[in-house]
Chain A
Amino acid sequence: MSHSSPETLAALARQELEGLVKRTTPLTPKERIAITAQEMPTQDPAIRRRNVQEVALGYTPEQARLESMRCLQCRNAPCVQGCPVRIDIPGFLKAAADGDFQGACSIIKKNSLLPAVCGRVCPQETQCQEHCTVGKSLKSVDKAVSIGRVERFVADLERESGSAVAPTIKPATGKKVAVIGTGPASITVAADVRRAGHQVVMFEAFHKPGGVLVYGIPEFRLPKAIVQKEIDALTGMGVELKTNFVIGRTRKLKALIEEDGFDAVFIGTGAGLPKFMNIEGENLVGVFSANEYLTRANLMKAYDFGRADTPISRSGRVAVLGGGNVAMDAARTAVRLGASEVHIIYRRTEVEMPARIEELAHAKEEGVIFHLLENAKRLIGDKDGCVTALECLRYELGEPDASGRRRPVEVKGSEFIHEIDAVIVAIGNDSNPLIPRTTEGLQTTKWGNIIVDETGKTSIDRVYAGGDIVLGAATVILAMGEGRRAAASINERLK
């Protein structure tokens, strides 16, 4: 993919929009489809490989309007069906096409509390944009209306202009709700419950709030200042935040209800327990979970050499095991920390990769090397216990498995060696067991996910849960959707 400069993209958009706004008759669907799909301006790959600033720079106002004009305003709105929180997508795109960006943002905010975040990290190509009629008629999901990019634009504009209106808060009810965790599900619950007039206290184990948005997703994909703004909005609404407070240890969950006077509790502690492959050599020096590697780099700012006290491995040849967004994040972080080569090892093919197309493309542009149909068999170390090589097996695709993806089958006797000096394991997360282990009577599945009913309530009265601790590792938008549901149930329960 050739890289077009932001200036070129802006100039082209300005020109195209000028032509369109002069018209007096409404655009026909055919004409809308003919509008140029707006490319996201990005930092030049050669430059961004050496910095942690955001890769995608965001649309210009002209680009946002043009992209919104591509929307056909389908009456059946298939895009809305694909959105986990049912945002009125044609509605906000219409407002944006007319240049009413504030109006567009207000429409989104009726359903989604975190548009600046979701506009960046939602997998739109498998949600709203997958069903877009424009994409279908152009025979490529890549050509669908870039709903997420417009969402991001209007949210950024609102934030930067300071025009966001503080939500109205109902009169105090005297009821108190504890929210455990400060990730996307918890942020949503805190906002919705606070708006109903209840007192809200959020508990965070780390020294900074934001959960996976700050420890997991890198700065170059989601600037931490944006997450902080969302948190500031909550504290501005009167939500109390307690950091360095781990429920289950600093205070038992049940004590919150029985002794501390909380009327309801929401558990949104996420999927924070890294999976390992259980292969030989996995505990060698230089082998990290993606969680550890990313937390060092993001939350602990280890990229800021000289200022940050937290060290991070600055390796030459790095192998990342896995094919999801977290694997891409880890690989691209390794590139930025100065690795000479970064290899992604994935046992299926690119088609089956769970990573977003955009993340995959960005990783390739930044020089990450992909090894498909390969998987690690064991890790080999030197006399000091440091990893030096990865023994892999080749795979081929067999029959489809339960997930519908073709099952990878190992090719017997196909062992070969990659010489590397660091390995990052990014094969997923299980649910964090801390709260289930320390809370008697809280029912979980055999995988450790908390069981909830259709209202988000757990097996314990007044205790609700949502997000990855219920779903298993999923997405920000799904966590938010779960949070909305639980918040509605809590507000109903406290009436």
Chain B
Amino acid sequence: MNKILARTQLSDDVYMMRLNAPYIARERLPGQFVILQLDNEFGERIPLTIADADPVEGSITIIFQAVGKTTHNLADKQVGESVQSVLGPLGQPTHIEKFGTVVCVGGGIGVAPLHPIVKGMKAAGNRIIVIVGARTKGLVILEEQMRALADEFIICTDDGSLGRKALVTEPLKEVCGRIPKPDMVVAIGPPIMMKFCAEATRPFGVHTMVSLNTIMIDGTGMCGGCRVTVGGQTKFVCVDGPEFDGHQVDFDNMMQRLKAYRKHEDHAHEQCHLNAELSAKEKVNS
């Protein structure tokens, strides 16, 4: 059981929570994730990235978007309540060293896992260019924290409500075109964004690391549900990843695999909303 120590709503459907998890807080490194389960009997197991950790308090911070049944139910939990299972830290930590100039691109909720990597890269002595993108102003998260870490900070929104009106790939291309070109790009966000970031950097030959978030059950290499094709070979995101060379990842296959249970998820999600409406009505009636 992991107690919820703090809960903040960051935007319409994005939440930040601090969970009691002393072992994970002590061991976790940038790039790693946890698997969370709300109900050990009938709940599903979902991977979530670790946005931050406090080994002294023994807590980890997760940031998640309420998109499905489990994340909605998690969002409804309050401080003092508990999550039944949190397993981690899982996956290979980010390879952090002094590369020179590192461009860190975060799209939407992808800024959450990017945050500890930026911190680590900064501490290793790299010059950091941060590019943060979101659909609209209200969906930008961790802006201040990222701005504070960056040597150069670029923000853009699809609708122009904050910063440049552009997709992240546009400033990314500009930065890659500079002389000297950056030494490394880390891009984390929706799969489609990571795909186009990798395409944007490919002509410049800048190594581009992406962090994949796939369907998982155990998270320890046992089920293979998370497998992706990287450089023509099958890799398991849970034990070989979650970070891979973006120029080698077959994003189309990955995006198709993410949709494998879409019908079931939509149904469960709808059911979850109906139940919420019903119980609200019951409350009114009683």
Given A283-B229, A385-B253, CB of A289 within 8 Å of CB of B234:
no
Q: Flag if B87 contacts A432 (CB, 8 Å).
A: no
Q: Which residues of chain B have C-beta atoms less than 8 A from A208's C-beta?
A: 40
User: Which of B3-11, B159-167, B204-212, B220-228 is found at the contact surface with chain A?
Assistant: B220-228
Docked Cα-Cα span, A276 to B268, in Å, equals 31
How extensive is the interface on chain A, given as a class? 35 or more
Q: Cβ of A309 < 8 Å from any Cβ of B?
A: yes
Q: Which residues of chain A have C-beta atoms less than 8 A from B27's C-beta?
A: 249-252
Docked Cα-Cα span, A434 to B23, in Å, equals 17
Q: Which residues of chain A have C-beta atoms less than 8 A from B23's C-beta?
A: 245, 250-251
Q: Which residues of chain A have C-beta atoms less than 8 A from B90's C-beta?
A: 246, 249
Please report which residues of chain B, range 117-150, place their CB below 8 angstroms from some CB of chain A when the two chains form the complex: none
A292's contact among B37, B69, B223, B234, by CB below 8 Å, is which? Answer: B223
Q: Which residues of chain A have C-beta atoms less than 8 A from B220's C-beta?
A: 205, 246, 249, 272, 432, 434
User: Which of A1-9, A75-83, A84-92, A300-308 is found at the contact surface with chain B?
Assistant: A300-308
Docked Cα-Cα span, A300 to B224, in Å, equals 15
Docked Cα-Cα span, A308 to B23, in Å, equals 29
Q: Cβ of A295 < 8 Å from any Cβ of B?
A: yes
Q: Flag if A292 contacts B225 (CB, 8 Å).
A: yes
Docked Cα-Cα span, A117 to B170, in Å, equals 61
Residue-wise interface mask of A (277-296) relative to B, using a CB-CB cutoff of 8 A (1 in contact, 0 not): 01000111110110110011
Docked Cα-Cα span, A385 to B24, in Å, equals 36
* CB of B264, distance to nearest CB on chain A (Å): 4
Docked Cα-Cα span, A477 to B219, in Å, equals 27
Q: Select from chain A the residue with minimum beta-carbon distance to B1.
A: A244
Q: Which of A250, A251, A284 has the most CB of B within 10 A?
A: A250
Q: Flag if A289 contacts B223 (CB, 8 Å).
A: yes
Docked Cα-Cα span, A72 to B205, in Å, equals 78
Please report which residues of chain B, range 241-266, place their CB below 8 angstroms from some CB of chain A when the two chains form the complex: 250, 252-253, 256-257, 259-261, 264-265
Q: Flag if B257 contacts A295 (CB, 8 Å).
A: no
Q: Which of A243, A244, A245 has the most CB of B within 10 A?
A: A244
Q: Flag if A276 contacts B224 (CB, 8 Å).
A: yes
Q: Which residues of chain A have C-beta atoms less than 8 A from B113's C-beta?
A: none
Q: Which residues of chain B have C-beta atoms less than 8 A from A215's C-beta?
A: 218, 222
Q: Select from chain A the residue with minimum beta-carbon distance to B255.
A: A385
Q: Cβ of A310 < 8 Å from any Cβ of B?
A: yes
Beyond the given A215-B218, A251-B23, A309-B70, please list 18 additional residue pairs across the A-B interface where CB-CB is below 8 A: A244-B85, A246-B90, A249-B27, A250-B23, A272-B220, A274-B222, A278-B234, A284-B253, A285-B256, A286-B260, A288-B224, A289-B224, A291-B224, A300-B45, A310-B44, A384-B259, A433-B239, A434-B239
8 residue pairs A–B, Cβ–Cβ below 8 Å: A205-B219, A250-B87, A272-B220, A283-B228, A292-B225, A300-B44, A309-B70, A311-B261
